[in-house]
Amino acid sequence: MLYWPDIDTVLLDMDGTLLDLHFDTYFWLEHLPLRYAQIHALEPDEARAWLHQRIIAEKGTLNWYCLDYWSRELNVDIVQLKEEIAERIAFRPYVQDFLARLRSENIRAVIVTNAHRGSLNLKIRKTGIDQLVDHVISSHDYQLPKEDPMFWQRLQQEEPFDAERTLLIDDSLPVLESARQYGIRHLLSIVQPDSQQPARSIEQFRSIGHFDELSPSKKI
Ligand SMILES: [Mg+2]
């Protein structure tokens, strides 16, 4: 479905693409509400309902991904709370093999994530994922989330890529849409970003279940 000789750069999302989104879902929907209620001596169910609303209201904005913002707003140390459940951070299946294959085929692999540096560093420490790719970029460094088509323009300055010969793999449909508007030619989504949630059916973009469906090769 992809013609690999046409591709020389692969931009890769991290959470929900290379890593199981379960860690993040569990953190925001379960662990944070529980610990927030404990820390501020609140009733757990009320705290959960309020927090869910509060979090959803920021969806798609840079705040949504910003640990400093949430630490300040909620008066808790988000990075420290994430550390408490760090054993849940895990690769999605076949990711290491896929990244090794890109490397052996001389296809540039760049992680492009909306994750805040605090969360990114924790995940790098737990998985060593930065060692498996050529470069790691956090959208926080540009103050623009990937959902904003301007992000790709800014990325282009740091990481020159030929949009016609670039593949973006990302579980977020709004991000894929923003990349499409910018002109990135090859786009791929992930049907089950969170291993504990049902698979999605995706109409707008081509998608894969797992990375073993892709076999990068420069040979024709
Ligand atoms: Mg993602």
The pLDDT, as a whole number, for residue 57 is 86
Check if 6 is active-site: yes
pLDDT in tens, 181-202: 999 999 999 999 999 999 999 9
Q: Which residues contact 203 (CB under 8 A, 6 or more apart)?
A: none
**214 CA distance to ligand 1 centroid (A)?**
19
Is residue 112 within 8 Å of 146, Cβ to Cβ? yes
pLDDT in tens, 95-147: 999 999 999 999 999 999 999 999 999 999 999 999 999 999 999 999 999 99
Q: Which domains does the chain possess?
A: 4-20+91-213 (3.40.50.1000), 23-87 (no CATH)
**219 CA distance to ligand 1 centroid (A)?**
30
- Stretch 35-46: mean pLDDT: 94
Helices (H), strands (E): how many in the chain? 10, 6
Q: Catalytic residue among 6, 45, 162, 212, which?
A: 6
Prediction pTM value = 0.94
DSSP lists the bridge partners of residue 186 as 167
